[in-house]
Structure 1
Amino acid sequence: MHLTVHPSILYVGTPVVLIGTLNEDGSPNLAPISSAWWLGWNCMLGFGANSKTPQNLQRTRQCTINLPSVAEVSQVNGLARLTGSDPVPPHKQARGYTFCADKFGASGFTPEDAELVDAPLVRECPLQMEAELTAAHPFAPETNGSLIALEVRILRVHAHPEILMGRDGNRIDPNKWKPLIMSFCEFYGLGEQVHRSRLAEISEDLYRPARVKEMMEETTAAK
């Protein structure tokens, strides 16, 4: 029989992502979050509304979404409890956060230029996305505006060759891709495949958005 419980958090297991943005002075900012989900080539990102990253994203309307693998867990952990907000907001002070002007330097990650946005990519992450802001949604009214969900459109995806399927350069191989997962504030990786999925039998081409097909055609024509 199930029990009624009251967990403080409901991070049941989602991928860790590193959001790259630009500060007002043009310096790069980097923030780890695990409130991210995708539908097609659109993504929803959840933040504390007063944090530096959502402020940067709403101001510049650009960001990068970088997905680390389990191999980068130590560097991701190096970003924990660092904030680009100065002064540090009271709620983050209470949780032990400190201000850091150079989060790339503090974590050992390397910024690199994106192709379509000004925000920095993270070189070490096997999967990188460039994105633009399309909408901002106040989240959880009972928090009196302290949470926000930012909807972004993916403009370009970069993947390390080691995580791609050999015969299809446009598919990520789930047997090679080992994303870093956060579950109830602890780090985990993925285990072995437990069952073959009937959904995996459907051609991925049937899911590809029209604008992505246009990008592929433009790339082919340019070669």
Structure 2
Amino acid sequence: MSVEHIRTEPSILYFGTPVVLISTVNAEGGDNIAPMSSAFWLGWRCVIGLDASSKTTENLLRAGECVLNLPSVDEVAAVDRLARTTGSSPVPDAKLARGYRHEPRKFEIAGLTRTPSEIVSAPRILECPVQMEAAVAASHGLGDDGPRKGPFRAFELRILRVHIRPDILMDGHANRIDPDRWRPLIMSFQRFYGLAVGEVHASRLGEISEELYRSLAGERASSTAGIF
């Protein structure tokens, strides 16, 4: 059935992407976790968008590294406990207006567990089934052409090392995630969702060997710890 579309102007264009918990190290030495979902991956690169005034933005610009922790639907309560908290003090005006509060103990209030990374200084989050150590490759202002210059910051991150919980790997494959076992937590228009149905249609792209994408990407993580 054909339905005529109408013109509309939503306040946000938040159509649904996986939640990411970004862990970084503060200048004074403490840890920070930022829940966000403005992220996408190409090969072993990830592009994220953040509020330019956030503590995570500050930490990424200073330290140049982080961990991208991907929670599943099972960790949704912990993610929600981080909502409307910020590591920034004082709280930026825009966040203050939305009810944010300063919180320096993100791991503790969320009930999450620190675990050491192998390459970067930022900790991994033990409970997250997917953990990716990353380094900043590039960054630039986002929205600089708008009325409020530079409200966002975009980062290109180079993935250095990937840690996967074994139960979401495909049987017989050490390097393939099973999409039937991986249940990402999705944020859509500021609300939490999971993948309610299974695969809806066979995919011709799914017939391509994943190893071919490895060569197309032209890179992978360094096997030597400490090399960026």
C-alpha deviation, 1:214, in angstroms: 7.3
Q: CA deviation at 1:211?
A: 3.0
Structure 2 counterpart of 1:109: 112
Structure 2 residue 196 is matched with structure 1 residue 188:
no
Q: CA RMSD in A?
A: 1.2
Match of 2:178 among 173, 182, 186: 173
Q: Deviations over 1:107-136 (max 9, x none)?
A: 001111100000110100000000000111
Partner of 2:77: 74
In structure 2, C-alpha distance between the alignment counterparts of 1:37 and 1:170, rounded to whole Å: 20
Corresponding residue for residue 21 of structure 1: 24
Q: Which residue of 2 aligns with 1:211?
A: 219
Q: Please, what TM-score do these two structures have when normalized by structure 2?
A: 0.92
AA at the equivalent of 2:151: S
User: What pairs up with 1:1-223 in 2 under 5 angstroms?
Assistant: 1-141=4-144, 142=146, 143-190=148-195, 191-208=197-214, 209-212=217-220, 215=223
**d(CA) in 2 for partners of 1:89, 1:212:** 37
The SS at the match of 2:59 is helix
CA separation in 1, counterparts of 2:206 and 2:18? 20
| Structure 2 gap segments, 5+ residues each | none
- The alpha-carbon deviation at position 59 of structure 1 amounts to 0.2
The residue identity in structure 1 corresponding to 2:53 is: N
Q: CA deviation digits over 1:33-89, x for unaligned, max 9?
A: 000001100011100101100100110001000000000000000000000000001
Equivalent-residue separation in structure 2 for 1:213 and 1:3 (angstroms): 46
Task: Work out the CA distance in 2 between the residues paired with 1:123 and 1:18.
Answer: 12
Q: 1:38 to 1:213 in 2, by over 3 A?
A: closer
Which runs of structure 1 show a deviation greater than 3 angstroms over 4 or more consecutive aligned residues? Answer: none
Give the gaps of 5 or more residues in structure 1. 219-223
- Counterparts of 1:65 and 1:201, CA distance in 2: 28
TM-score by length of 1: 0.94
**Whole-angstrom distance in 2 between the partners of 1:214 and 1:77:** 34
Q: Distance in 1 between matches of 2:222 and 2:101?
A: 45
8 Å Cα contact 2:20-2:71 kept in structure 1: yes
Which structure carries more helix by proportion? 1
Give yes or no for contact 2:44–2:219 (8 Å, CA) kept in 1.
no
Question: Equivalents in 2 of 1:174, 1:91: separation in Å?
Answer: 38
Counterpart AA for 2:220? V
